[in-house]
Amino acid sequence: MRIATWNVNSVNARLPTVLAWLEAAAPDVVCFQEIKTIDEKFPREAFERLGYNVETHGQKTYNGVAILSKFPLSDIRRGLPGAEGAGPDGADDDQARYIEALIEAPVPVRVGAIYLPNGNPVGTGKFPYKLAWFDRLNAHARDLLALEEPFVLCGDYNVIPEAVDAKNPADWVGDALFQPESRAAFKALKWLGLSEAGELGEQPPGTYTFWDYQAGAWQRNNGIRIDFHLLSPQAADRFRGVETHRDARDMDKPSDHVPVVIELDMEEVAAPSASLRAA
């Protein structure tokens, strides 16, 4: 099973590019972030024609996440638990940043699509909102781990975990993505017992997933790695590889992010995890 994550930065604005990549890469499951549309205006039929079942959690103009799957989807969750009073202004959190579904494959796997808050500017309420959202994700991941089933939490985490994950780390010192608190929150999530696919697959330094549209970042390879798959132990045992589709950044009208795809062996009997290697 191939599971992709991709911040598409407006699905309707980039639909031909997104469809072209899907036809070429043919992932079984796709998690989109920043679809930037309400559910009713998501181009569902275009993806259904490619054989995908579609579930969305949209929002007008901003945010929005979706899961596409060539297998049936069930047990849909829209939004993280703990939304009451958790918004950046103290109101209930109504931002569309999380959707989860059980992928009804022969060996089912649960997948969560994540668009974690950016948190900038650091000196505003947006940064505590980011950290509180991390805390809610951590609590939900604990609950999922208790189920002892294969699951994957993937998406745009809006965090640069280590200096090696940025071409020029000094450029990000004042940014919410590289603050010690953000990096510690990401590590705390992994320390629950989750494995990060790039580490499992031994992706080399300089494997970036985002290049800003400004200042020639793409042309100078001034990128950062902020898009991740975190795997439960039961999913990590089935991990077979990871690919970062860098060439998607060079497509017509690209997103500023590129897709990252993992492969899981979802046969009834998984091979030992010691055989994990990059795709």
Q: Is 118 annotated as a binding residue?
A: no
- Is residue 140 among the annotated active site residues? no
Check: CB of residue 137 under 8 Å from CB of residue 114. Answer: yes
Q: Which of 230, 236, 238, 260 is nearest to 142 (CA)?
A: 230
Question: Which of the following is catalytic: 57, 229, 245, 257?
Answer: 257
CB atoms inside a 10 Å sphere around CB 44: 17
CB atoms inside a 10 Å sphere around CB 46: 17
Helix axis angle for 126-145 and 180-191, nearest 10°, is 10
Query: Mapping DSSP to helix (H, G, I), strand (E, B) and coil, where does residue 193 land?
Result: coil
Q: Is 92 annotated as a binding residue?
A: no
Residue 168 has pLDDT above 60, yes or no: yes
Q: How far is 202 from 152, CA to CA, in rounded Å? A: 18
Q: Is 168 annotated as a binding residue?
A: no
Residues found in the chain: 279
Q: Which domain holds residue 18?
A: 2-275
pLDDT classification of 274: cutoffs 50, 70, 90: very low
Number of domains in the chain: 1
Q: Is 148 annotated as a binding residue?
A: no
pLDDT classification of 271: cutoffs 50, 70, 90: very low
Average pLDDT across the chain, whole number: 95
* pLDDT one-digit tens code per residue, 218-231: 999 999 999 999 99
* pLDDT one-digit tens code per residue, 24-34: 999 999 999 99
Query: Rounded to 5 degrees, what are φ and ψ at 183?
Result: -65, -40
Question: Which of the following is catalytic: 52, 93, 98, 115?
Answer: 115
* pLDDT one-digit tens code per residue, 143-163: 999 999 999 999 999 999 999
The CATH number that applies at residue 79 is 3.60.10.10
Q: Is 39 annotated as a binding residue?
A: no
- Is residue 156 among the annotated active site residues? yes
| Average pLDDT for 200-229 | 96
Q: Is 237 annotated as a binding residue?
A: no
Report pLDDT for 269.
56
Question: Which of the following is catalytic: 93, 156, 165, 237?
Answer: 156
| Average pLDDT for 164-189 | 98
